[in-house]
Amino acid sequence: MRFDELIHQPTRLRIMAYLRGLGTEAQVEFGTLQKALELTEGNLSRHLSKLEEAGYVAIEKGYSGKRPRTWIRLTGTGADAFDRHLAALEALAQQARSQRAPTENRSREETHEDR
Amino acid sequence: MHGTEFSPEEALRQAKALRSKAGAPLKRFVAQLLLLWGAIYLGMYGLESLGVAQTGLLWIPVDLAGVALSFGLGARLGTAIRSPEGLWLRRIWASFAFLIAATVAVLLIRDAAGYLDFVINLLAAYALLLSGMALTHHGLIRGGLLLLAVNAVFFALLPSLYAPALAVMGLVALVAGLRSLWRYAV
């Protein structure tokens, strides 16, 4: 279980989550990803570069007819990193819930006693 | 500072939602196909069962238009997402098109046009079944099996109700397509 600082950034977490849903063999076109995540072109490019540097995504440039296209794919390393990060988030969320529970129980008991 | 506090639960919820959203374009594509072919079956077999028209020759342009539209929708999906599942769908339906062309030619040459509907629907059911397996889409698998059964039972035992039964199958596909499209709308 490892909290990944690179994926922790909210936009990158969203990019990685979307790519994880596609799996490591599928490629998504840049414009489709941009539309799905509602990001600007520059913002998406910047975050993808960082993820590519870390080896989490693979970026392939090509053509569809005469149109240039950029294809993005999650790598195996990226998938593992995302899964570990999600497990760390699950653990944190669980911890937060269990910390909240005694306080909530106490306040419920106090309300009950007040009646 | 309020509003920027990190919440692991919220981050987790967003990540899970986006992970599911990724499969939506492929599911939307399947829904569009169900809608299209459901409407074609309902319309054509519906007309036949009501005795409004003899649909024999009318099937050719309708089928060709349906195939062209289906491949157009597939090509549009291919410019957005390239996935092994998408590649399998393309292979299944391209081979289906070849099989249909060969079947129609052979049956017409042998003067056995009476079996056309049965054989085409049998192949369509098999292609649906294969697509469902390729996409791990249980609805498509169930639909393929249902079409297989309805096609066989009504052709063999209740030929007079064959057209209405296939029209109902079209309606089922249409409703399933609409429901799925509503669910995976952009």
Task: Kindly tell me if the per-residue pLDDT of B1 is higher than 50.
Answer: no
Q: Do A18 and B18 touch (CB under 8 A)?
A: yes
Cα separation, A65 vs B125, whole angstroms = 34
Q: Which of B141, B123, B130 is nearest to B88 (CA)?
A: B130
Q: Residue B8: inside a domain, yes or no?
A: no
For residue B45, being part of any structural domain is answered with yes
Q: Is residue B3 part of a domain?
A: no
- Residue B154 maps to a domain: yes
The pLDDT assigned to B185 comes to: 74
Which residue range(s) make up the domain with B125?
24-183
Question: Pick from A18, A86, A93: which is nearest to B22 by CB?
Answer: A18
Whole-number Å distance between alpha carbons of A81 and A1: 10
- Nearest Cα of chain B lies from the Cα of A31 at a distance, in angstroms, of 8
**According to the model, what pLDDT value does residue A105 have?**
64
Is the residue at B9 inside a domain? no
| pTM attached to this predicted model | 0.80
Q: How many domains does chain A have?
A: 1
Domain membership of residue B14 (yes or no) is no
Better pLDDT: B23 or A28 = A28
Spatial CA neighbour of B125 closest among B84, B155, B159, B158: B155
What is the rounded distance in angstroms from the CA atom of residue B57 to the CA atom of residue A114? 82
Contact A21 B82 (CB under 8 A): no
Q: Which of B14, B17, B82 sits opposite A26 (nearest CB)?
A: B82
Domain that holds residue A85: 5-114
* Predicted confidence band of residue A43 (pLDDT cuts 50, 70, 90): very high
List the CATH number of the domain containing A64: 1.10.10.10
- CA–CA distance, B123 with A86 (Å, rounded to integer): 43
Residue B146 forms part of a structural domain = yes
Residue A18 · residue A44 · CB < 8 Å: no
Put simply, the answer to whether A64 touches B79 (Cβ < 8 Å) is yes
Closest partner CB to A93 (pick from B9, B23, B80)? B9
Within B50-161, residue ranges assigned H as helices are 59-78, 84-109, 116-135, 138-156
Does B89 fall in a domain? yes
Q: Residues B55-102: pLDDT tens digits? A: 677 888 888 899 889 989 888 888 889 999 889 988 998 999 899 999
Res A62: pLDDT: 86
Please tell me the total count of domains within chain B: 1
CA atoms within 13 A on the CB side of A41: 2
CB contact under 8 A, B18 and A89: no
- Contact partners, residue B88, CB within 8 Å, separation at least 6: B131, B134, B135
